Amino acid sequence: MDIRLNFINRSDDANNSAVVIFQRNIAAGFEELVVAWLVIRYCGQGDNHPFLFPTTMQVSASDSYGNYTPHLDAHNGQLFQMVLTPSGDQLVLAGSATSRHEVQVLNALARGAINASIYRDGKLLAVTTSIAPLQQAAFAFNPSLWIGVVSQVEQGQIMNSAVISSVNTELNLLGIASADIVMTGGGPGADAAPFEFSLENIVMC
């Protein structure tokens, strides 16, 4: 199911700030690489930016030879393996994961590290790199989005720790079918209010 969201800029910001939206892979621990899933730019005061947040995900992998697999539909509780077939390296569904809350990707190749990636709505959501043979990556996400005002962040790229630590708003989407994400605050000078994000006009499933 797709959650229909609508970002609305009701802030006092006149600096044309960019807004980043992402999820955190809670299965990754300290080595988590956080990806800018969606970056909203040039959304002026009073403008809105509608987008979909699918509950479905896709998984893909790349090998040490620079090959990328197709995106496969992935659900929590599934295990995927990168295997060597007569035609070359392929990512295949391999049964159940060890946790029903995770999508897991095992490097079943005899040699060479792989990278595993998760996508939502065709956009990169999370990645785990340098997975050695017989090692696996795990992906798990809370039903929520992180959102904040950032600079010099590109959609689909891994963000540095300074940017991540500056984003402290988590919006819970559990049970929501659609909602507005309203940004307020900002403005010129030292008296500018901090940016705030809230959900309004919520429609539950």
Alpha carbon distance 52, 68 (integer Å): 25
Q: Are residues 17 and 72 in the same domain?
A: no
Q: Do 32 and 79 share a domain, yes or no?
A: no
Residues 131 and 187 in one domain: no
Structure tokens at 6: 């609508």
On whether both 7 and 50 belong to a single domain, the answer is yes
Confidence tier at 117 by pLDDT (50, 70, 90)? very high
Answer yes or no: do 131 and 161 share one domain.
Answer: no
Other CB atoms within 10 Å distance of the CB of residue 55: 11
Residue 71 shares a structural domain with residue 120? yes
**128 to each of 12, 111, 131, how far by Cα in Å?**
38, 18, 7
Same domain, yes or no: 32 and 75: no
The CATH number linked to 12 is 2.60.40
163 with 200, same domain: the answer is yes
- Residue 30, pLDDT > 80, answer no
Q: H or E segment at 6?
A: strand 2-9
Those residues whose C-beta lies under 8 Å from the C-beta of residue 191, and which sit 6 or more positions away, are none
Structural domain boundaries, residue 166 = 2-54+142-204
Global pTM value: 0.94
Looking at the structure, do residues 71 and 172 belong to the same domain, yes or no?
Answer: no
Return d(Cα 85, Cα 193) in angstroms, integer: 58
Give the chain's domain count. 2
Is 77 in the same domain as 121? yes
Q: What are phi and psi of 29, to 5 degrees?
A: 70, -145
Residues 39 and 99: their CA atoms lie apart, in Å, by 31
165 and 193 housed in the same domain: yes
pLDDT above 90: residue 99: yes
pLDDT tier at 32, thresholds 50, 70, 90: confident
Q: Of the residues 104, 120, 139, which one is the last residue of a structural domain?
A: 139
For the stretch 161-188, pLDDT in tens is 989 999 999 999 999 999 999 999 998 8
